[in-house]
Structure 1
Amino acid sequence: MSSLAEIARICGVSIGATSKALSGKAGVSETTRQRILSVAAQHHYRPNRLVHAIQKGRSMTIGLTCNDFRDDFSGRIVEGMLEVLYEAAYDTIVISWDLCVHEGEKVLRTFTERRVDGLLMFPPGDQPTPAYLQELRTFQRPIVVVDQTFAGVEEYAFVGSQDYEGGIAATEHLIELGHRRIANIFHRKISTGRARVEGFRHAMERHGLPVRETWMRDIQNYGSEEIYRHARELLTMEEAPTAIVCFNDWVAMDVLAATQDCGRRVPEDVSIVGFGDLRIASAVRPRLTTIAQDPIGIGRHAVRHLLTQLRAVNQQEEELRDTPPTPVSDRLPVRLVHRDSTRPAVRQSF
């Protein structure tokens, strides 16, 4: 593979003329342009993107950090991101939080040193340290936070789902089916979990139904054993709930397992609602009633918001430099998918 200088030498012209010919700029005759293009093709010339990046002040590279790429939901968000980034001719540097435990500052420094133009950031598993947040503020490039929010990133654009509305929809679905004894296994530690359980409480209150705190189970470590234990305790109570709203579809899978092990039937004895509409939701039996999100859409929207910020930065509009724009909060709609894990309740009373 030949360099720009070698192509210029072979053609007997200056490097400047060669660069203009290869980039389609004016300043060279059509005859010279065609000769340079022909020689470049014969010698398999490829432009040096690093040089172009230095000249333009843009690397055409985006940083992406995610907490768990193995997760079906996160993976589909990334799929949507990469689709739009590819269309926009951006490359991606990907770093997993799981491989950089307690090294959030190092991750950000790596992105800064690589001169990425912007950052797509899934939140780390725990609330970031003050040192991490300080490093984030010194990043000085556009950032879009994805799926979950956390303290210290309110100034950045956010793209996620209507989690609060989804919590309402899941609960009202059960209420419409006649259920009154409804439990909730949630995950208050993260923003999506807090929003969903707030939606649950709102729906119960709106319909005049009491929320029994003994039926409210907050996941602390998000492990299958803990979720399974919570489900068994709920299902073996003297007065057990007849329906359970789950933080997500994976939690619902553990609840389904506990239900079977307790000798209970879904949906005859207990109705279960998940959240996410992952692929497993329609593969498991009974098929899971759930709240469908749009992970690919979240990924696409996140990149589009980032590209909008990058265009503003590249245009160096005076008003945007002097007055930072109001951060975008883009929550994509969710919808209930009614399958086989819920059914009308028998007559109930408190």
Structure 2
Amino acid sequence: MKKSRTTITDIARELNISPSTVSRALNNHPAISTKTRELVIGLARKRNYQPNLLALNLLRKRTNTIGVIVPEITSHFFSSVISGIQDLLNPIGVNMIIGQSNESYEEEKSLVQTFSSIRVDGFLISPSSETKNFDHLDVLTQNNIPLVIFDRDCEGIDVDKVFVDEYNGAFQAVEYLIKSGCKRIAHIAGPPSLSTARHRLRAYRDAHRLHQLPVNEAYVVESVGFAPEHGIDPAKQLLALPQRPDAIFAINDGVAIGTMYVIKEAGITIPDDISVIGFDDDPYSCYFRPSLSTVWQPTYEMGMLSARILMKRINSNNDLSKLKVEQLFPELIVRGSSR
């Protein structure tokens, strides 16, 4: 039969003392004699006693655990963010529970409820592409649970937020294409519900306007996701136009890779015939031929900064008098896929 875990009650019963005396002895309380303390600690070691940290932390009104909710964890983008969060939390003894919403509003709402029920000290959340109703996040603020939104904005919610300047990064990419001589620049956009997609599309239009280059609306198409397969149909749609584009700026590297596949299959040369630029600088981007031009984002730094802000909020009893909205800056990386 499997042996059960030793508890404070077990130690108290064997030594014929009260559980409260055992607890005080284990916590080095001055009211407990040296002899009793040594007996308790000796037996605890012999029985391999492990304290119930969850119960102890709940008594202290802290679990030393935060909830992290992201749309998905397999991409380099979010895995890098999570690494930054972990590297900030580990040295200070704080744990994290990670939930993946799979770009689903219902799953995100369920994760918030589940993590709240186990009393996490605060939340770091990057909203799903389906999240348009923020009631589940309002509940957190109403209950004084610290929350930091990162990467994707939830407009109208007054909490700490950490973003990358998506507009700036996209503007760099499109302006580079214009200055390299491209005249028919297409954009494979993301879901319009996402603030990141809206910022990149606005930058695409503004770069054209600044350089007095008209936007052909036929060159703006939408992808339904962010993986390479989500670049296939939009790229085919663009190549089928009477006058195909001479450059494509994709919502992210995954979609850009799918786009490059379609272009190559059509016998079109990259970048001589069509330049391609992605967004995110996934590690695999530089290994394609030609290597992918892209916009680098400081994802690791975003994770660390988000976690640092959240911990300050938790340790200040969630004083909301000075909310932070931080922006990190991206950088265009020019490789072989663009002129």
Greater shift in the superposed pair: 266-275 or 2-11: 2-11
Partners of 1:141 and 1:45 in 2: CA distance? 33
| Cα drift, residue 287 of structure 1 | 0.8
The CA deviation string for residues 207-229 of structure 1, in whole angstroms up to 9 with x for no partner, is 33222222222335668666423
1:255 counterpart residue number: 259
Matches within 5 A, 1:236-247: 236-247=240-251
List runs of 5+ in structure 2 lacking aligned partners.
Answer: none
Q: Is residue 173 of structure 2 the alignment partner of residue 170 of structure 1? A: yes
| Cα drift, residue 173 of structure 1 | 2.1
State the identity %: 28
Partners of 1:89 and 1:220 in 2: CA distance? 40
8 A contact 1:64–1:95 mirrored in 2: yes
List runs of 5+ in structure 1 lacking aligned partners.
Answer: 315-319, 344-350
Partners of 2:300 and 2:12 in 1: CA distance? 45
8 A contact 1:17–1:27 mirrored in 2: no
1:45 counterpart residue number: 49
Identify the match of residue 335 of structure 1 among 315, 319, 331. 331
Greater shift in the superposed pair: 80-89 or 35-44: 35-44
> How large is the RMSD of aligned CA atoms in angstroms?
2.9
Partners of 1:182 and 1:228 in 2: CA distance? 17
1:195 counterpart residue number: 199
8 A contact 1:244–1:273 mirrored in 2: yes
Change (3 A) 1:54 1:268: same
8 A contact 1:158–1:328 mirrored in 2: yes
Greater shift in the superposed pair: 90-99 or 216-225: 216-225
Give the total of aligned pairs.
334
2:324 maps to a residue whose letter is V
Matches within 5 A, 1:186-225: 186-187=189-190, 188-219=192-223
Change (3 A) 1:19 1:216: same
Partners of 2:72 and 2:230 in 1: CA distance? 20
8 A contact 1:100–1:107 mirrored in 2: no
| Cα drift, residue 246 of structure 1 | 1.0
Q: Is residue 305 of structure 2 the alignment partner of residue 301 of structure 1? A: yes
Partners of 2:54 and 2:227 in 1: CA distance? 45
Greater shift in the superposed pair: 241-250 or 66-75: 66-75
TM-score by length of 2: 0.86
Identify the match of residue 98 of structure 2 among 90, 94, 100. 94
Partners of 1:75 and 1:36 in 2: CA distance? 44
The CA deviation string for residues 10-40 of structure 1, in whole angstroms up to 9 with x for no partner, is 6777655654553456555667655654443
Change (3 A) 1:295 1:178: same
| Cα drift, residue 42 of structure 1 | 2.9
Change (3 A) 1:238 1:209: same
Secondary structure at 1:102's aligned position in 2?
Answer: helix
Partners of 1:193 and 1:129 in 2: CA distance? 18
| Cα drift, residue 116 of structure 1 | 1.3
8 A contact 2:228–2:256 mirrored in 1: no
Q: Is residue 68 of structure 2 the alignment partner of residue 74 of structure 1? A: no
TM-score by length of 1: 0.83
